[in-house]
Amino acid sequence: MRRALLAALVVGSLLLLTAGWVGFRGWQARAHLLNAAGLARELSAQVLGGDTARAQRTLAALQEQSGSARAATGDPGWWVGRRTPYAGDNLAAVRQISVAIDDLARQAFPPLLRADLTSLVPAGGRLDVERLRALSAELARVNSAVRGARDSLATVPTDGLVAQVRQALTDLRGEIDRLAGLTAAADQASRLLPPLLGADGRRTYLVVSQNPAELRATGGMIGAYAVVHAADGRVRMGQQGSSSALGRFVPPLKVPAEVRGIWADLPGIYPADVNLTPHFPTAAALYREMFRRRTGTAVDGVLAVDPVVLSYLLKATGPVMVPGGVPLAAEKVVQTVLSDSYQRMDNQKQDAFFAASAAAVFDALVTKNIDPKALLSSFDRAVTERRILFWSARPEEQRTIGDSRMAGTLPEKDTVPTVGVFLNDGSGAKLGYYLRPSATLAVGDCRPDGRRELRLRVTLRSSAPRSGLSESVLGLGLAGDPYTVRTLVSVHSPAGGAVLAARLDGAETAVGSGTERRRQVGTVNVEVGPGQSRTLEVTVLTATTGVGAAELWLTPTATPWTTQVVSAPSCDQ
**Mean of pLDDT values over 517-529:** 98
Q: What is the pLDDT of residues 60-104, one digit of tens each?
A: 998 998 888 788 888 776 777 777 776 677 778 778 877 887 888
What average pLDDT score do residues 523-539 get? Answer: 98
Task: Please tell me the predicted confidence (pLDDT) of residue 455.
Answer: 98
> What crossing angle do the helices spanning 163-196 and 2-18 adopt, rounded to 10°?
170
Cβ atoms 529, 484 nearer than 8 A: yes
**Smallest Cα–Cα separation from 418: which of 434, 405, 436?**
405
Mean pLDDT, rounded, for 247-259: 97
353 and 471 both lie in a single domain: no
CA distance 335 to 337: 6
Strands 418-425 and 389-392, sheet pairing: unpaired
Kindly indicate the confidence band of residue 15, based on its pLDDT and cuts at 50, 70 and 90.
very low
Predicted local confidence at residue 10, as pLDDT: 45
Would 114 be classed as within a structural domain?
Answer: yes
| Co-location of 333 and 209 in the same domain | yes
- Which helix (H) or strand (E) segment holds residue 137: the answer is helix 129-154
Using alpha carbons, select from 131, 135, 113, 115 the residue that is nearest to residue 123. Answer: 131
Q: What is the pLDDT of residues 183-194, one digit of tens each?
A: 776 777 778 888
**Are residues 329 and 387 located together in one domain of the fold?**
yes
pLDDT for residue 435 is more than 80: yes
Separation between Cα atoms, residue 405 and residue 64, nearest integer Å: 36
State the total domains in the chain.
3
Q: For residues 248 and 136, state if they share a domain.
A: no
Domain span including residue 253? 203-397
Provide the β-strand partners of residue 303.
Answer: 207, 390
- Looking at residue 374, its pLDDT comes to 78
Give the chain's count of helices (H) and strands (E). 18, 18
Contact criterion met (CB below 8 Å) for 456 and 511:
no
Distance of CA 356 to the CA centre of its chain: 26
- Position 151 pLDDT exceeds 80: yes
Contact 407, 390 (CB under 8 A): yes
Query: What percent of the chain shows pLDDT beyond 90?
Result: 50
Higher pLDDT, 466 or 55: 466
360 part of a folded domain: yes
Dist. CA 41–CA 2, nearest whole Å: 9
Peptide bond into 569 cis (omega under 30): no
Arithmetic mean of pLDDT, 42-56: 72
Instruction: For residue 104, tell me if it sits in a domain.
Output: yes
Residue 405 maps to a domain: no
* One domain, residues 284 and 242: yes
Burial (0-12, 13-18, 19+ Cβ within 10 Å), 444: middle
Q: What is the pLDDT of residue 370?
A: 79
User: What is the residue-averaged pLDDT of the chain?
Assistant: 86
Q: Are 9 and 39 in contact (CB under 8 A)?
A: no
8 Å CB contact between 146 and 108: yes
pLDDT of 323 over the 70 cut: yes
Phi, psi of 513 (to 5 degrees): -125, 155
Lowest mean pLDDT among 12-21, 288-297, 554-563: 12-21
Dihedral sign, CA of 409, 392, 126, 142?
Answer: positive
Q: Are residues 25 and 98 in the same domain?
A: yes
For residue 362, give the nearest of 125, 151, 145, 54 by alpha carbon: 125
- pLDDT, position 20: 43
Q: What is the mean pLDDT of residues 302-327?
A: 90
Indicate if the pLDDT at residue 543 is higher than 70.
yes
Let me know whether 393 and 266 are in one domain.
yes
Q: Which residue has the higher pLDDT, 189 or 140?
A: 140
Per-residue pLDDT band at 319 (split at 50, 70, 90): very high
Q: Are the beta carbons of 118 and 50 closer than 8 angstroms?
A: yes
Looking at 168, 196, 224, the residue that finishes a domain is: 196
Q: Of 196, 224, 258, which one is at a domain's C-terminal end?
A: 196
User: What CATH number does the domain containing 483 carry?
Assistant: 2.60.40
Q: Which of 340, 362, 397 is the last residue of a domain?
A: 397
**Residue 374, CA distances (Å) to 189, 275, 321, 378 in order:** 18, 30, 20, 6
pLDDT band at 440 (very low <50, low <70, confident <90, very high): very high
Please, which pLDDT band fits residue 14 given cuts at 50, 70 and 90?
very low
Residues 178 and 221 in one domain: no
pLDDT of residue 21 exceeding 70: no
Assign residue 160 a region (left: φ > 0; alpha: ψ between -120 and 50; beta: otherwise). Answer: left
Strand partners for 564: 440
Residues 290 and 423 in one domain: no
User: Is residue 33 domain-resident?
Assistant: yes
Q: Residue 69: what pLDDT?
A: 78
Find the angle CA(440)-CA(157)-CA(412) to the nearest 5 degrees: 50
The residue with greater pLDDT, 469 or 153, is 469
CA 567: distance to chain centroid? Answer: 20
Quick one: 357 and 452 in the same domain?
A: no
Check residue 25 and give its pLDDT. 63
For position 264, which CATH number holds? 3.40.630
Q: Is residue 423 part of a domain?
A: yes
220 with 277, same domain: the answer is yes
Question: CA–CA separation, 272 vs 275, rounded Å?
Answer: 7
Residue 406 domain flag: no
Q: What one-character-per-residue DSSP string does 249-302 give?
A: -SSPPP--HHHHHHHTTHHHH-GGGGGGSS-HHHHHHHHHHHHHHHHS---SEE
Work out the angle at residue 315's Cα, subtended by the Cα atoms of residues 309 and 321, and round it to the nearest 5 degrees: 85
Same domain, 221 and 239: yes
Euclidean distance between CA atoms 295 and 226, whole angstroms: 13
Residue 484 DSSP symbol: S
Task: Kindly state whether residue 107 falls inside one of the protein's structural domains.
Answer: yes
